[in-house]
Each structure stands twice: as structure tokens, then as C-alpha cells.
Amino acid sequence: MNQHDFLKILLNEDLNRKLIYEGLIFSYPPKKVIIKLKESGFKGISYNGKTINIKFILSENNKEIYEKLNNFLYNVCGWIHGVSVTNGIPTKDKLDFLKHHNGYVYLQYEPKFDVEVSEIPDKLYHLTTCDKLNKVLSKGLTPRTSVEYFNFEDRIYLSKNKESLINFAIQKSLITKKDCLIILKVNINSFSNRIRFFMDPNFNDGIYTLENIPKGTIEPIERVNINDENKPKISPFK
């Protein structure tokens, strides 16, 4: 393949990705938000896995500083001011602090939308049914719509660890009536910088993408058989 053809492929891929994400609104990763806040002079910032907490120093300029901060976090970053905390206790009125000029208050911001994940492990895991394995291995994973388990449109869900998929396999078997499932390992080193992943709000170890995952990165590693008592039997894939 010459340089011109390769450039055409990259341009076409970029156009397709723009169409996929057109209209998608998401919250910036907390790590990026915190870096921007620190660059703006804010201190005492922490992230507890769900919310960004900012130590807001009270002054006569409360309203002006807060409006700039809130507009940036809400309109640009997709994070919403949920609670204000004083002495470890949430205040009844989250904007009550604006009329006080001494001390400080912690402002707690929550993601308005699903959060893009910037740090991805080298390997991810995906659960599929045995009857779909050959298609996955020949064509890769493609985003799909589900109405039989969680309701979602055009997504591929993955897990950061295979253990968390076992309980999911039992629940999926109850819904789909499939008693043979396969755990796939996805090696993402070769394409992780080209695909965007988002945090799954319903599954602690889960993330999802809206883009195709190529077949060459997928490897079946374990077979999960669910018996009549809804108990799993796990065996290496052969």
C-alpha cells in the first residue's frame, strides 16, 4: 500500500468516526477536568470515583468566580454542580455560600453524561453466546442494539476483568435462554488510541464503545455453561 492510499484510508476512517459521534454529548474525563481546574488556580480538588470535589474559597467575588467556574464545568466539560458541603454536611441550598465572604465550601460536581475513559488496560473482556462466536471471529465485534437485557443502541460493552462477567453470564442466560456463552479477550494495544471508550454507569468494571473492534484483536479464552440450576461451569476454550 502506498502513502496516498494509506492517507485515503485514514481520512475515510476519520470521517466515519465523526458521523458516529455526531450529536453525542459526553462528560470530560475527571483527570482532564482536574488538570484544567488546577491550571486556573483552584486547589484542594479531589475525585472519589464518582464526583469531583472543589474547595471554593469564599470572598466578595463569590458570584463572579462561581459563574465562570460553573459555566466552564457545565457547558464545556459536562459536569453539573449537585451539592455544596460545609463541615462535612450538604447544605439545603447549594448556592447559599454565595452570600458568605469568609471561609470555604466544597462544591461537589457530578457527571452530566457518561464519562469518556482515558486510561484503558491492555486487555478487555466481552461476553458472547456460543452460536455467535464464528461470526465474531470472522468479522470482529460491531456495535449493536439490545432490547433483551439492558436497553441500549449501537454499542459494544466490555469489562476490565473477566471475573465480573460470570454473574453477568448467569443473568444474561436467564433472559436470552442461552446456556452456552464465551468469554472473549480483546487485546487493544494496537488500536486503543483510535477508539473512544466510555464508562458504563450501570456496571462498575464496564466500559463501552460505539466503534467496531477488529477481528484480529479478539481471542476466545473461556466457555461458560449454565446448568438448569443457573450455576456456571467454566472451562478453558479449546
CA-based end-to-end distance of the chain: 36
Q: Are residues 83 and 146 in the same domain?
A: no
Residue where one domain finishes, among candidates 111, 128, 156: 111
Residue 202 sits in which domain range?
A: 120-236
Task: State whether 79 and 131 are in the same domain.
Answer: no
Residue 214: half-sphere exposure toward Cβ, Cα within 13 Å? 10
Q: Which residue has the cell 486547589?
A: 43
Statement to judge: residues 126 and 224 lie in one domain: yes
Q: How many CA atoms lie within 13 A of 152 on its CB side?
A: 14
The pLDDT of residue 3 is 54
Q: What confidence tens digit (pLDDT) does each residue in 72-105 have?
A: 999 889 999 999 999 888 888 899 999 999 999 9
Mean pLDDT of the chain: 83
Query: Is 161 inside any structural domain?
Result: yes
125 with 231, same domain: the answer is yes
Residue 149 lies in a domain: yes
pTM, two decimals, is 0.66
Cβ 129 vs Cβ 88: under 8 Å = no
Report the side by side order of strands in the sheet with 79-86.
Answer: 45-47, 52-57, 104-111, 79-86, 89-90
Tell me: pLDDT of 151 over 70.
no
Cβ proximity of 143 and 210 under 8 Å: yes
Report the phi/psi class of residue 75: left, alpha or beta, with left for phi > 0 and alpha for psi in -120 to 50.
alpha
The 10s digit of each residue's pLDDT in 18-76 is 555 666 678 888 999 999 999 988 889 999 888 999 999 999 999 999 999 999 999 88
Please give the pLDDT value at position 149. Answer: 47
Q: How many folded domains does the chain comprise?
A: 2
Compute the distance between CA of residue 64 and CA of residue 215 in angstroms, rounded to an integer: 53
> Is there a single domain that holds both residue 232 and residue 132?
yes
Is there a contact between 143 and 154 (Cβ–Cβ < 8 Å)? yes
Say yes or no: 43 and 80 in one domain. yes
Are residues 203 and 95 both part of a single domain?
no
